[in-house]
Structures are given as C-alpha cells and as structure tokens.
Chain A
C-alpha cells in the first residue's frame, strides 16, 4: 500500500514532525496546568469568581480552533509572533483551561462537607485541609481533566500546522494541496494514533493517581 510505502520512505521526517507536534502540545499543556490548577483551586474559595471564570473558559471552548488561530495571528503579530509555534501554544493553553479548571474546581468542591468539618474540627488550618485532604482526593479527576486537555490539544495541534506550527498536521494540509492521498492518510493516521495512545497512557496515569482508598473496584 502506498501509505506504508510513504511511511517507510519518510519515517525520519515523520518522526521529526511527530516530535514537533508532541513538543508544542507538551509545552501548552504544561503551561495550562500551571495556570489552570491554581485558578481552579482559587475559585473554590470565591463563588463569584468561579461563576465568571468558568463561564469565560466555557466560551473559550466554543470558539472554533481555526477561527482562534486566525485571530491570534494579527493579535500576536504585534509581538512579532504571528505565525508559528507561539500562536499555536497560546491557543492550546486557552482551550485547555476549561477542562483543567473545571475539573479541579469540581473535584475539590465534591469532597463531602462533613469530611472538611472533621478536618477543621480536629485543628487543621484551611490550607492544611486543602492540601492534605481535598487535593489528594481530587487528584484523579484533575488528571482526567489534564488527559482531556492533552488529547484535545493533539487534535487542535494538527490544525496549527496551517499557521506554521509544524507537527503532523503538515502532512494533512500538504497532502490536500498536492492531492497526495498517501500523505494525507499518513498524517491523519499518525495524529489519530498519537491521540489514542496519549489517551491510553494518561488514562493509566489517572488510574494510578486514585488513592487506593478511593478506588471503587
């Protein structure tokens, strides 16, 4: 099959592009977690902020990715980074905020109030309750949010190839331009496989993150 032919002939470049792809997804998710989890924790203390932030993040998710990339270009051109990896990463970070913030918030909030009461009653400070009780219990759901962010970013990252970010999407767009089916299929397949594998790996990590005391099987 031509696809296998193509892959065999170009495996070096394919690997390179896959690496590129993984690279900017990783950076974006890393930043998203660094901002999203603290924000998620913060809004558990502030009801009003919670409403606003979750709403904004939700709106963020509704904007179609290609439209956002498009808008990023002129906006970031001011800083001289209209095309390439930077707008891609910025957009990915924005998209990842909702799953991460929402999951962090929901997971921390879902801890039974009587457990929190017991903690405070025993003499834990609010911070100690947060870090010793709520966060450990919330860990697996937070990780589920990260998993969603990763898989979503891999998908959206494929589109980012169009604005010069590189990655596996390149084969798809280039293939469409050249009407080169094998290239298209390679690109599509590689992205799909990367997404599925990432989903699986993060799923396993998520499973391990659940405290033994909380596993329901």
Chain B
C-alpha cells in the first residue's frame, strides 16, 4: 500500500511540474502573440474540440461494440481453424497507415463526417480485436480447467473467468485505440470530418503558428488526457490481482 501511495505522490509531483511548465510556456507564447487567435475565437475552438471528441467517442463506441464480440468469437472453439489466418490478415491490415485508410475510405465513400467515422472505426477495430483475442487467449488454462470442473457452462466460463481475466489487456487495447483515434481524427479533417485538424492543417498551410498551435495543443492535450483517464479507469475496474506492472 505504501508503495502505491508513494508512486501516486511522485506522479502528482510530476503533474504539478508539468502544469507549471505549461504555464510558463503559455506565458512565453502569449508574449510572442501566439495565443491571440485562441483568445479571439474561443467559440470556434470549443466547437471543433467537441466535434473532435464526438468523432473519437462515436467511432470508439462502435469499434468496441463490434470489436470485442468479434474478438471473443475468434477465440471460440469452432473458429479454431480460421483463427490463425484471420489473425494474420488482421496483422497485415494493422500495418496499413492511418492516412492511407482515411484516403481510401474517402475515394470510395466520399467526404464527410460519416466517412470519417467509418474510417476511424475500421482503423480502431484492429487493435481492439487483436487485444481481445490475445487477452482471452492469455487466460490461464488452469483457471479454465477449474471452472469447467466446477460445472460452469461455456457462457458462464466466458463471463466469470475469461472476460475478467482478459479485461486488463482488452482495456489497454481500447485505450490505445482511442489515443490513436485522436490523432487519426485530426487527420480526418482532410476528408471532411471536421475536428481540431482544421486548425492544425490550416495553420500549417498559412504558416500561422498561433493558428496551428490552437489546434495542435488541444489535440495533444486531449490525447494525453484521454490516455490518463482511461488508465485510471483501468486501475479502478480491474481487480488488483490482475494488474501487471510493465
């Protein structure tokens, strides 16, 4: 218990340090006139931020709802023959860069938010499915054996043994997906998805640093925050017996 307290104490220390640094950077930025745009258009920024979050969460929710069950299916006995092949396929698909996925989606589905969400979902599916399969596959064979021996039905086994034990890896996969999606959603501006990417791309094109930073900083902050929040969620939900300290 003491170690945990100590660790969270030092974590808080670093966070405070980071906040102070950001403040200092902010002051410097202010001096350079970089924050001017931000101050003048808070409404726009808020709207884009919300758009961005909406993109990420929508795509994320769909990806989880589709991905986790698919992953579970792939680990079932009857899929054994196809599992290897499908996993390899998934692996290959995962190597395809996000920009390529977005671009290809656009050429076939046109521009717009729906396309963006579609592409984001597809891109997020892969790590989620992969981690679900890996997580369930990693459940100790001994535990499964004990469950079967106690008379659990396959469904009970899934809900009471496999899923709880796989939760850590599955949640990590979802967390990773969401973080990646924040970045990909920024790119999706280019295919009509909106979001903070608008500010970033336009800012770069116009060589207006203030403009660009107004997009870049919240995007980065959003990613880091979501990552941290999800990390807390993981620690909260998952039984301490299962947390692996990497």
Contacts and interface: CB of A to CB of B under 8 A. Distances in A.
B48 to A, nearest CB: 13
B182 interface: yes
A133 to B, nearest CB: 23
A64 B92 contact: no
A169 B201 CA distance: 14
Most-contacted residue by chain A among B107, B182, B213 (CB, 10 A): B107
Interface stretch (B71-79, B93-101, B129-137): B93-101
Contacts of B179: 61-62
B107 A185 contact: yes
Given A176-B190, A184-B107, A196-B95, A66 B197 contact: yes
A12 B202 CA distance: 31
B243 interface: no
A23 B179 CA distance: 28
A184 B224 contact: no
B117 interface: no
Contacts of A196: 92, 95-96
A43 B209 CA distance: 36
A73 B215 CA distance: 14
A63 B103 contact: no
A172 interface: yes
Contact of A192 (B97, B190, B204): B97
Contact of B103 (A54, A188, A198, A199): A188
B10 to A, nearest CB: 9
Contact of B95 (A158, A169, A187, A195): A195
A122 B224 CA distance: 47
Most-contacted residue by chain B among A68, A102, A176, A189 (CB, 10 A): A176
Given A73-B209, A154-B97, A195-B95, A67 B103 contact: no
B200 A188 contact: no
Contacts of B187: 66, 159
A158 B102 CA distance: 12
Interface in A29-71: 54, 59, 61-71
A66 B246 contact: no
A11 B160 CA distance: 56
Contacts of B184: 64
B58 interface: no
Contacts, number: 125
Most-contacted residue by chain B among A61, A66, A184 (CB, 10 A): A66
Q: What interface size band does chain B fall in?
A: 35 or more
A119 interface: no
B190 A64 contact: no
A64 B184 CA distance: 8
Given A62-B224, A68-B220, A70-B213, A158 B100 contact: yes
Contact of B216 (A70, A185, A187, A199): A70
Contact of A71 (B101, B213, B223, B246): B213
B204 A70 contact: yes
A199 B99 contact: no
B147 interface: no
Contacts of B107: 181, 184-185, 188
Contacts of A64: 182-184, 186, 219-220, 223
A191 interface: yes
Interface of B: 34, 91-92, 95-101, 103-104, 106-107, 179, 182-184, 186-187, 190-191, 197, 200-201, 203-204, 209, 212-213, 215-217, 219-220, 223-224, 227, 246
Interface of A: 54, 59, 61-71, 73-74, 102, 106, 151, 154-156, 158-159, 162-163, 169, 172-173, 175-176, 181, 184-185, 187-189, 191-192, 195-196, 198-199
